[in-house]
């Protein structure tokens, strides 16, 4: 693996954690939050779901991984705090995008300091065709042909030879599986998906993948834990990545002891931001019921509860009226407080009551994300580096 991830895994005995960030404020939270005993996050996760929510478009590859990467200028000046090493950054690249764009994508991410790029083995035939892995309809998404995807891995590895970057393969065998009503059929379906995941892992490693992510949308970690344990019997060294979004109350040591090396809290800060902003908005509407009614762009974000995108647009806006300024200041303050509180829970591995009290649900986030509130044409034209931060 490249030095950043390898060094972190060695320093932390093969157990590191990443937390999602989508702008410079959330990045700062990941960088600075610590636990009472010095616990900290070792890296940042750039999630396609939260980044597209922030931009105001659905997480369907409506915009390409390269286009998303072009909006990450806030990563370029990552702070390095006293007594804290620079955080590694992992980028969620969906299915990797168009093969001709792979060299440009790798070069762009390398220039931003990204040290791991994760590509998922879904079959996406064009813009807007991706189905999020946690969506209830995820079984409608076909998996990519294993060997064709291996060629894409090889293309990423070749493009990253001169960079400090690892290419990780994300296996979707569990998320594209349709749950069966009959218990015996369900058991066989899980078994088949597990065997498929093992075959793909071996194929992807041979193609050059430096790490394997195993993903699941079940409310319990059973199929992930089984994969981890059996994979470790076959391969004691390849780094394994887990995203415990739908089974977040499972203790972290359960995954580490089963063989995981990297845990990613993939969307929590955006869910915390929207939760706090939503509560603030209900109170604010009582005082200023007509806020944003004069601006169709802002009202679309507000009415669709995409407060991640709304706060971005307000910060980029010019000539805001007094009500809009007051809204921005109040909503931003509450959002930051809630994101910090969530990060403090996560950094010590404590998820008790966090989901109910401080986060919107994953399905709620998916519903919000599905409503496009920004046109894609010219989306990045006016996003200067200062505005993106």
Helix (H) or strand (E) holding 90: strand 88-92
Task: Please give the full DSSP string across 288-319, using - where no structure is assigned.
Answer: -TTTTTT-HHHHHHHHTT-HHHHHHHHHH-SS
* 272 close to 339: Cβ distance less than 8 angstroms: yes
> Tokens 């993939």 identify what position?
266
Of the candidates 23, 36, 59, 145, the residue annotated as catalytic is: 59
288/327 Cα distance (integer angstroms):
9
* Length of the chain (residues): 389
Residue 23 annotated as catalytic: no
200 CB-near residues (< 8 Å, 6+ apart): 121, 146, 149, 169, 171, 173
**What does the block give as tokens for 219?**
């409310």
* 74 close to 312: Cβ distance less than 8 angstroms: no
Q: Where are the alpha helices (DSSP H) in 18-167?
A: 24-32, 48-55, 65-69, 102-111, 146-159
**What does the block give as tokens for 268?**
């929590």
* Torsion angle defined by CA atoms of residues 209, 138, 72 and 153, in that order, rounded to the nearest 10 degrees: 20
Catalytic residue list: 59
């Amino acid at each position: 693996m490249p030095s950043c991830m390898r060094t972190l895994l060695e320093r932390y005995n093969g157990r590191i954690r990443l937390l999602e960030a989508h702008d410079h404020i959330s990045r700062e939270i990941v960088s600075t939050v610590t636990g009472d005993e010095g616990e900290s996050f070792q890296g940042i996760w750039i999630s396609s779901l939260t980044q597209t929510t922030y931009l105001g478009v659905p997480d369907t590859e409506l915009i390409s991984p390269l286009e998303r990467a072009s909006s990450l200028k806030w990563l370029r000046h990552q702070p390095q705090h006293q007594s804290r090493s620079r955080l590694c950054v992992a980028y969620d690249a969906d299915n990797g995008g168009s093969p001709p764009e792979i060299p440009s994508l790798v070069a762009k991410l390398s220039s931003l300091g990204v040290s791991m790029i994760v590509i998922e083995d879904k079959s996406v035939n064009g813009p807007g065709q991706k189905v999020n892995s946690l969506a209830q309809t995820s079984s409608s998404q076909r998996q990519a042909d294993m060997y064709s995807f291996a060629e894409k891995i090889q293309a990423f590895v070749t493009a990253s030879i001169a960079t400090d970057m690892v290419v990780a393969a994300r296996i979707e065998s569990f998320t594209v599986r349709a749950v069966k009503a009959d218990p015996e059929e369900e058991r066989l379906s899980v078994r088949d998906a597990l065997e498929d995941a093992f075959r793909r892992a071996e194929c992807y490693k041979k193609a050059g993948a430096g790490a394997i992510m195993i993903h699941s949308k079940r409310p319990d970690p059973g199929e992930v834990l089984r994969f981890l344990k059996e994979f470790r019997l076959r391969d004691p060294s390849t780094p394994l990545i887990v995203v415990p979004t739908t089974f977040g109350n499972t203790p972290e040591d359960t995954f580490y002891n089963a063989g995981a090396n990297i845990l990613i809290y993939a969307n929590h800060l955006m869910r915390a931001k929207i939760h706090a902003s939503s509560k603030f908005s209900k109170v604010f509407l009582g005082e200023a019921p007509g806020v944003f009614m004069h601006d169709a762009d802002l009202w679309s974000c507000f009415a669709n509860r995409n407060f991640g995108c709304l706060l971005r647009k307000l910060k980029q806006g010019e000539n805001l009226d007094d009500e809009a300024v007051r809204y921005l200041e109040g909503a931003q303050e509450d959002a930051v407080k809630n994101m910090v509180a969530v990060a403090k829970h996560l950094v010590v591995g404590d998820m008790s009551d966090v989901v109910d009290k401080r986060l919107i649900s994953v399905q709620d986030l998916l519903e919000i994300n599905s409503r496009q509130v920004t046109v894609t044409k010219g989306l990045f034209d006016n996003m200067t580096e200062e505005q993106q931060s």
